[in-house]
Amino acid sequence: MKKIVILFSGDGFNAQNIVQKLHNKECFVACGITNKKDAKGIEKLTSLGIQTKVLQHGGFNSREEFDGKLVEIINSYKPDLVVLSGFMRILSRVFTENIKAINIHPSLLPKFKGTRAIERSFESLDNECGVSVHWVNSELDGGEIIVQKSFLKEQNETLENFSAKIKQIEYEIMPEAILKVLKI
């Protein structure tokens, strides 16, 4: 069975979704790793029987030093794939050149790279919006697209409704992208 490691920083809803849809069915989730000791995703994954580790980035002298330790922890699990699921860190070449990873991003890349993508997409004049899953490389949100799914923005749509559509698409396409990459 193919093995994955999930990286997250916050609530862990996407990580939870991945575990519920794929763990011990299509692949094995070996571990969840977060850079925040108070990430709510820790409780979600632990309640699903997934081991979690905390590696806080604040105690390191550089981004590269943190990424080196992160790579070391990931490699101890020998995963077939690393899945960034709301992992809010810009990764250095120490990570991107040593780890095979995919990331989910709440816009139709290459538009709205980086932070606040949902808000920027919502505020834009674009009628077509959506979500992308892409390979992680040294360019922020710049790796090759694996899966994208779009929807049409409605007139007078609220940010809350727009965000809910984004989340629903994320829950659909991240498991799809994982299976596609792992060729399951």
Domains of the chain in start order, with CATH, are: 3-182 (3.40.50.170)
Q: Write down the pLDDT at residue 59.
A: 87
CB atoms within 10 A of CB 83: 29
Question: Which tens digits make up the pLDDT trace of 86-123?
Answer: 999 999 999 999 999 999 999 999 999 999 999 999 99
Tell me whether strands 81-84 and 145-152 are parallel, antiparallel or unpaired.
Answer: unpaired
pLDDT band at 184 (very low <50, low <70, confident <90, very high): low
- Rounded to the nearest integer, the mean pLDDT of the chain is 96
Query: What is the SS3 assignment for 39-108?
Result: CCHHHHHHHCCCCEEECCHHHCCCHHHHHHHHHHHHHHCCCCEEEECCCCCCCCHHHHCCCCEEEEECCC
Task: Provide the whole-model pTM.
Answer: 0.95
Catalytic residues: 105
Question: Which tens digits make up the pLDDT trace of 7-57?
Answer: 999 999 999 999 999 999 999 999 999 999 999 999 999 999 999 999 999
